Copies of this chain bind each other. A is one copy, B any other.
């Protein structure tokens, strides 16, 4: 197994053992985020023929795991650096996570949001006290608006996923998960930019049992991670077609490095199974999970090699519907 191989070598990632990266992140953000509950469903166990465990990050503060990474970055900053505030561009959960984390740190948050973003997400971000600037919907417009605003404010730019501190922060979800259910056989996280899944891979190596396999799951209509790993080079997302709006982003360089280094496999999921998985989570578990958060469960509906009866952990990444 790939994870065994990795465990046998001495592990270092960006100059530090992943155990240290994650342990420090956990200590830093422990009082800032919920330890979200791990939930089970006998009826879903029967339906899938597996023993399923769900880490309900949809119940996390600001509605997704994103506050973990954001808090880890913000509470790593020196006061002198932090006081000018933080800035990002995001139309989704990271905007809310960073806005809430910044409010708790007592510093300004400047968020560039594309003007076609759902108004409910803009309002939620504003409600956490962020200052918002709308821009045209293109990536170029977002980056330009962010760059100009950063020059005006002197705020620190925070990347939503392509940053070791963000990845370590997101990995604390899996770290908590493995503390509660130490003997998981599989652990599946969705892959968009890759921050959550890369953090999950690192947590699995650091805290999982020797037989744990961490898998990523992404929509077939936005499968840049699968294609990148297949080709061995980082390929951009091109014209993504999926209801899982959180997974339309391009895979980041740091997550790509983690996946290639530790041989992470990505499962691809069809749109129809994503919708079915959302329905099952609503009907059987009474949980509101956004499309992106339902992708790992959907992956268990497609062809996969997980043996019957295996203990499978699933990260329900968020609950913020547009």
Contacts and interface: CB of A to CB of B under 8 A. Distances in A.
Interface in A48-67: 56, 58-59, 61, 63
Interface string A100-119: 00000000000000000000
B288 A287 contact: yes
Nearest to A40: B34
A39 interface: yes
A285 interface: yes
Interface residues of A, number: 19
Contacts of A43: 127
Contacts of A210: none
The number of times this chain is found in the oligomer is 2
Contacts of A58: 286
Contact of A287 (B61, B120, B287): B287
A282 interface: yes
B288 A59 contact: no
B37 A286 contact: no
A289 interface: yes
A252 interface: no
Given A37-B37, A39-B59, A59-B39, A282 B286 contact: no
Contact of A282 (B39, B61, B288): B288
18 contacts: A37-B37, A39-B59, A42-B61, A43-B127, A56-B286, A58-B286, A59-B285, A59-B286, A63-B286, A120-B283, A282-B288, A286-B287, A286-B288, A286-B289, A286-B319, A287-B287, A287-B288, A288-B288
Q: 9 closest Cβ contacts across the A-B interface?
A: A286-B319, A286-B288, A58-B286, A282-B288, A59-B286, A37-B37, A288-B288, A286-B287, A287-B288
